[in-house]
Every structure is written in structure tokens, then in C-alpha cells.
Amino acid sequence: MSVLVFLDQAEGHVKKSSFEAASFAAKIAEQTGTEANGIVLGEVKDDLQSLGKYGIKKIYHAADAQLNQFDDEIYTALIADTVKSSGSNVVVLSNNFNGKAIAPRLSVRLKSGLISGAVGLPDTSNGFKVKKSVFSGKAFANVEIKTDIKIITLNANAFKVTEGSGTATIENITTQIPRRKVNVREVNVVKGEVPLAEAELVVSGGRGLKGPENWGIVTDLAKALGAATACSRPVSDSGWRPHHEHVGQTGLTIAPNMYFAIGISGAIQHLAGVNRSKTIVVINKDPEAPFFKAADYGIVGDAFEVVPKITEAVKKLKGQK
């Protein structure tokens, strides 16, 4: 019995969401009196032993260049084999793009129940139940897994990374790698930007900004804060911002530490994607904007006047430190 966490890497570096997943897995192991191990696929530049500080005892590593590029079918095969050979009974993945592609496959391959989008630790007092986000962030469900092996994907920013002092041992896995059926032709990643799904701080703009030429006030504030940028649906529908910035019921669901909304009315479909953010700030010139009801801090005012001043104040405060 043990917990196995899939540690996702991109370009040789383990992702931040995987540190959350590792901390979460270690806590489940502690809860159930077993140990947590990790699996890394592909060549990495990071020191994998140091992942022990998140409570991981052993890392199974398949350092094969053929695995550097993600493939859900191949990754599933290797993870499933490792689950079996290590006798793991809980499998943890991040509920990110890769996790969403692998977890359902694993569920079928291992004939084991899956809970996607967990927001907290399992309740093992009577069976095995995990709280997950449902209705696009408007509610939670406590879901029970009935099979011996349990598969959980963890929502971003739902569990705090905890660091200790351990060192992980590395066990190399060498294995036959199945044939790739999907050929990756192109990968286009915007470099140097904080990926929205994992971001701790998000600055977002709505139709109140009037047009793409005015986005400077959003990106300036985001840059000063080290935040990712997002937008409401009509903004991406009009092509003012790229599709991947669209948050809400039909876009990305996010739960950053702070969501800073500028010129967004706060329609129910928009709120569905952001209302799990820890702190919500709303800047809107309409005091009746529904977003204020979901906010922690608000300013009624013209974004074009207020936001540059906020950016200045952030820069000043950061510069002083």
C-alpha cells in the first residue's frame, strides 16, 4: 500500500502544480500510514532527489528521450505499470491539461474510480470520499470511490505546497515504450508568461476596457504584480485577447490567490469560473455591477484613471522592499 503521484514535467522542469500534487500525496500517505512515491517521465534537468522535501520517498524515473514529449496513451501505460509494480492504492495527478488526458485512461486501464478536480484531502473515516468542485465552481460534491485503487486529480491552488527536509531515492525504470499514435507537429507556448491555470495572481479585463488597444493598463498591472492575465468571454469572442485567456463557465476555471477584475460586470457564467479565488478585487464604474457582491475589495471608479495609479502604488511598494 502506498500513494503514487505523477510529477508532470515540461521542457525538463517539474511543474509547480506537481509540487502541490506531491504535497497532497504525502499528506494522504501520512493520513493512511503509508508512504508517497513519485513517477517522472522523460529526461529532466531538475535534481529529482530534492523532491523529497515535499514528502516523497522514492521517485520512479523513466529518463528516456522518447518520453520528453507528452503522450497520454504512452504515459498511461507507464504509470499503470508502476502503480501495479509498486503496489500503490492511491494515484494522484494534477487536474491540468495533461492530468485530464491521462486520468480517465488510467481509470479504465486499472478499472479504478476517478475523482477529478479534488479540492481537499480524502475523508477516510467511512470509506474513501473526496470533495470535488462541481457546477463549474458553484458547489462541491463529496464523491466516494468504491474500488481498491483510487485515482484523484487535484485542482490547481487547492492544496498548499509544504516543504520539509527529506531526500528522495531514485529508481530508474527501463521499459519498452509503446508506439506513438499521435504525432506532435508543433508546440506553441508563450514564453515568459505565467500560465493562467497555475497562476497565483490573475489580472483580468472585460468589455469595460472598450478595445484591445487599451489592454496596456491590464498588462502593466499584471507585470508589476507578476500576475497572469485573463479576460471575460465577449473579450476573447471579439478577438481582443487570445482564447486561452477566457475564464468562466465555458472557459477556464481558476482559483488563484487573487483575482483582480477590471471592467467586468460579474455575470453568473463569469463568476462560475473565478469564484473560488481566495481574494477577489473588482474595479468597475457601475456601483450596481453584480461582481461587487462576490468581491472582497472593490473600487467604484473609471478603470482608466484608477488602474494606472494602482500599478504605480504596487511598483512603489515592491521597490521599497
Ligand X SMILES: Cc1cc2nc3c(=O)[nH]c(=O)nc-3n(C[C@H](O)[C@H](O)[C@H](O)COP(=O)(O)OP(=O)(O)OC[C@H]3O[C@@H](n4cnc5c(N)ncnc54)[C@H](O)[C@@H]3O)c2cc1C
H/E run at residue 239: none
d(CA 202, CA 158): 16
Residue 235: name its binding partner from other proteins, ligand X, none (Cβ under 5 to 8 Å by kind).
Answer: ligand X
Residue 13 sits in the site that holds other proteins (CB under 8 A): no
Report yes or no: 115 and 153 within 8 Å, Cβ to Cβ: yes
Residue type, 295: A
Residue choice 7, 26, 264, 295 for contact with ligand X (CB under 6 A): 264
Would you give the binding string for other proteins spanning residues 159-198, x where CB under 8 A is met? ----------------------xxxxxxxxxx--x-xxxx
Kindly state whether residue 234 participates in binding ligand X, applying the rule CB under 6 A. yes
Please say which residue, 4 or 152, places its beta carbon nearer to other proteins. 152
d(CA 223, CA 84): 45
From 269, 278, 293, 297, residue interacting with ligand X (rule: CB under 6 A): 269
Site for other proteins in 238-277 (CB under 8 A): 243-244, 246, 249-251, 253, 257-258, 268-269, 272, 275-276
Report the residue number, 142 or 169, with the smaller CB distance to other proteins. 142
Q: Give the residue with the Cβ less far from ligand X, 167 or 249.
A: 249
DSSP structural state of residue 287: T
* Integer Cα distance of 302 and 24 in angstroms: 42
Q: Which of 285, 308, 314, 315 touches ligand X by CB under 6 A?
A: 285
Alpha-carbon gap, residue 108 to 315, rounded angstroms: 50
Among 119, 235, 280, 294, interactor with ligand X by CB under 6 A? 235
Applying the rule CB under 8 A, the residues between 67 and 86 that interact with other proteins are 70, 72-73, 76
Question: Measured between alpha carbons, how far apart are the two ends of the chain, in Å?
Answer: 48
Return the residues of window 51-70 that contact other proteins according to CB under 8 A. Answer: 70
Identify the residue among 47, 193, 286, 312 touching ligand X (CB under 6 A).
286
Choose which of 250, 279, 316, 318 interacts with ligand X (CB under 6 A): 250
281 binds, among ligand X, other proteins, none (CB under 5 to 8 A by kind): other proteins
Q: Is 155 in contact with 117 (CB distance < 8 Å)?
A: yes
Partner whose footprint covers residue 105, from ligand X, other proteins, none (CB < 5 to 8 Å by kind): other proteins
d(CA 127, CA 146) in angstroms, rounded, equals: 8
Sheet containing 2-7, strands listed edge to edge, beginning at the edge strand earlier in sequence: 129-134, 113-118, 150-154, 90-94, 2-7, 35-41, 56-62, 169-172
Distance (Å, whole) CA 200 – CA 157: 7
233 contributes a contact to ligand X by CB under 6 A: yes
Instruction: With both helix axes pointing from N to C terminus, report the angle between 303-320 and 216-225 in degrees, rounded to the nearest 10.
Output: 20
Residues near ligand X (CB under 6 A) are 206-208, 232-235, 248-251, 263-265, 267, 269-270, 273, 283-286, 289, 302-304
